[in-house]
Amino acid sequence: MSYQREKQVAIQAVTAAAQLCEQVRQEEGSLTLTKPDRSPVTVADFGTQAVICRVLAEAFPGDSIVGEENSSLLRQPAMTQQLTGVTHYVKSQIAEATPETIITWIDRGTGQVADRYWTLDPIDGTKGYVRGDNYAIALALIEDGEVKLGVLGCPALPIHPNQPDGDRGVLFVGVKGQGTTLIPLAGGQPQTIRINECDRIESLRLVKSVESSHGNPELEVAITQSLGFTTPSLQIDSMVKYGIIARGEADLYIRLPFPLESSKRQNIWDHAAGVVILEEAGGRVTDMYGKPLDFACGTKLFNNQGIIASNGAIHDAVLATVAQEIQAPETSQSTP
């Protein structure tokens, strides 16, 4: 299958969502609400899920969508003002939107994992978004447990890695068997991207989270030291990290549980789009034991622990080092 129509619809949906997110960030004062699990969510997370689910539902009415958000917080009587805010921004993208249709569209994203389904993180890296830094809108299509298409909208990412103060706003688009392209969010020619082919250890670079509570940073640093990395790491929020490796700006992203034996598992929407984007650019993604990620078992990666995403060439060496380091008790229990 060429996935041509899926790709075109996903790009259209993510581009509209990126415009919404940037409009909210420019116009809103206080952005953050708190979900029952204490994690942050904003008017833009809800607006983005509404817009993307609406576009997908129109184009592919039979497809299930598994998204991060649902409307339960927004439907509470105390949230009327926030729902009005979401409606205002969604209307900029879809003129006929009403509070009622928006609730329906958001909850269109509470579907089940199926033989064919979409997974959506309307804003990945909400903390980065609120801080004014990087974030990603992440949409992926999965068939038979394999990611076939991934689109990552990265509105705050510089288009050219060597021009950090230049124009921003990038779409990464990966299609199984067809490679990965980078397209400026404002429009322009798709450009095929590849991972960094250089395997000189001293030039290799880790890309890591800004938020230290999201992984096991001391162990992650111990692994890169053991591998011999000397180039300072990049720090960037969200799944943008996958795109950064896919275009050769960094070589490795490690996300390990804390503590190591934690039963917590990663959400499918936090990785699916990044996996196909990086693999189609020449990279490799597995769990910390080298197993492929299993997107067929539910909303979380229940069959996988930890994530290793790399330029491919160093992957086996990284897995061997991870295996060594996780057996060293003094690093495995370190505080993040």
Ligand X SMILES: Nc1ncnc2c1ncn2[C@@H]1O[C@H](COP(=O)(O)O)[C@@H](O)[C@H]1OP(=O)(O)O
The residues binding ligand X (CB under 6 A) are 39, 68, 121, 124-126, 128, 209, 211, 213-214, 237-238, 270
- Could you tell me the smallest distance in angstroms from the CB atom of residue 271 to ligand X? 9
Q: Binding site annotation covers 121?
A: yes
Catalytic residue, chosen from 45, 107, 237, 287, is 45
Residue with smallest beta-carbon separation from Mg ion: 124
Neighbouring C-beta atoms of residue 18, cutoff 10 Å:
24
Residues 6+ apart with CB under 8 A from 171: 11, 14, 15, 151, 152, 153, 154, 182, 183, 184, 185
Q: What gap in Å lies between CA 151 and CA 67, rounded to an integer? A: 14
- Could you tell me the smallest distance in angstroms from the CB atom of residue 69 to ligand X? 9
- Measuring CA to CA, which residue among 269, 257, 303, 47 is closest to residue 147? 269
**Could you say which of Mg ion, ligand X, none residue 181 binds, taking C-beta under 5 to 8 angstroms by partner kind?**
none
Q: Is 199 a catalytic residue?
A: no
Q: What gap in Å lies between CA 94 and CA 50, rounded to an integer? A: 10
- Cβ-based nearer residue to ligand X, 37 or 96: 37
- Cβ-based nearer residue to ligand X, 23 or 235: 235
Contact 46, 137 (CB under 8 A): no
Residues 247-306 that bind Mg ion (CB under 5 A): 270
**Eight-state DSSP code of residue 115:** S
Contact 265, 287 (CB under 8 A): no
- Could you tell me the smallest distance in angstroms from the CB atom of residue 307 to ligand X? 10
- Cβ-based nearer residue to ligand X, 120 or 141: 120
Q: What gap in Å lies between CA 98 and CA 83, rounded to an integer? A: 10
- Could you tell me the smallest distance in angstroms from the CB atom of residue 323 to ligand X? 23
Using rule CB under 5 A, residue 124 touches Mg ion = yes
Per residue, the 3-state secondary structure of 31-54, as one string, reads: CEEECCCCCEEEHHHHHHHHHHHH
Q: Binding site annotation covers 270?
A: yes
- Could you tell me the smallest distance in angstroms from the CB atom of residue 200 to ligand X? 27
- Cβ-based nearer residue to ligand X, 83 or 309: 309
Q: Is the omega angle on the peptide bond into residue 292 within 30 degrees of 0, that is, cis?
A: no
Using rule CB under 5 A, residue 68 touches Mg ion = yes
Q: Is 45 a catalytic residue?
A: yes
Annotated binding site for Mg(2+): 68, 121, 123-124, 270
Can you give the binding site for Mg ion, defined by CB under 5 A? 39, 68, 121, 123-124, 126, 270
Residues marked active site are found at 45, 126
